[in-house]
Structure 1
């Protein structure tokens, strides 16, 4: 319920960020294993991936805590420590195919189950320990 009706509501999440300590290992996981479309990598600072209409930002936390070096892109320092979470949406048939693909790459499944509304989820860990979930789109629908 909107408290202030004249304030515009966002219509989606454009990007989500996770933080890692080894950008090369993260790039292997998200780029090679998950085969996400890489948008760009900047040295040891970040690698970005397209996920449908959104972008997954994978940052080296040590580098994003530093002040910006480019005055044309004054992104404030940010970052976090410890495992985060990202959920990637896909239909059940693709989740099952992804499950097999992950196991073929020796990526262990942390958990897999159906939610009370019937949506399927599986969880794995990326090399930094972030929780990566694959879930049916109607999980929140």
Structure 2
């Protein structure tokens, strides 16, 4: 027996919650460029962020639909989960692409909530998705050396 936790590989999936999944799909697909790969009307839509070096996905659920416990004989007995109110999600962006992202968002009518440099010089841009979630596009260096 060891006191150390086993090694983690990284983040596989992150979840946000939205009441309007059609608006969420339009935003994440058409504005942010993520490919939807699975959906269940009224319950969820899943987006692929990347496959390399490991798959990473964004899951967007209607909280109301995921709070219901699965049936006793469910094929996939995922426990109930969900959140209320705005969440936060950050995507890593190459530092030289942040200006291009800013222009892209503004051209699509997406308001920029904040655009600043952290004390270490790394930059973040904040915006809101249609559900009010705080979305950050950031130079991965915001967490370097910490």
- TM-score normalised over the length of structure 2: 0.89
Q: How many angstroms does 1:71 deviate by?
A: 1.4
CA distance in 1, matches of 2:98, 2:112: 12
Matched residue, 1:84: 87
Structure 2: any 5+ residue segments left out of the alignment? none
CA distance in 1, matches of 2:128, 2:61: 16
Matched residue, 1:64: 66
Any idea what the Cα deviations from partners look like across 1:28-50, whole Å, max 9, x if unmatched?
A: 11011111111211111111111
Range that drifts further, 69-78 or 31-40:
69-78
Q: How many angstroms does 1:9 deviate by?
A: 2.7
Matched residue, 2:104: 101
Superposed CA RMSD in Å reads 1.5
Q: How many angstroms does 1:20 deviate by?
A: 0.7
Matched residue, 1:16: 14
Q: How many angstroms does 1:11 deviate by?
A: 2.2
Counterpart mapping for 1:115-134 below 5 A: 115-134=118-137
CA distance in 2, matches of 1:68, 1:32: 32
- TM-score normalised over the length of structure 1: 0.92
CA distance in 2, matches of 1:73, 1:21: 23
Q: How many angstroms does 1:139 deviate by?
A: 1.3
Question: Number of aligned pairs?
Answer: 138
Matched residue, 2:3: 4
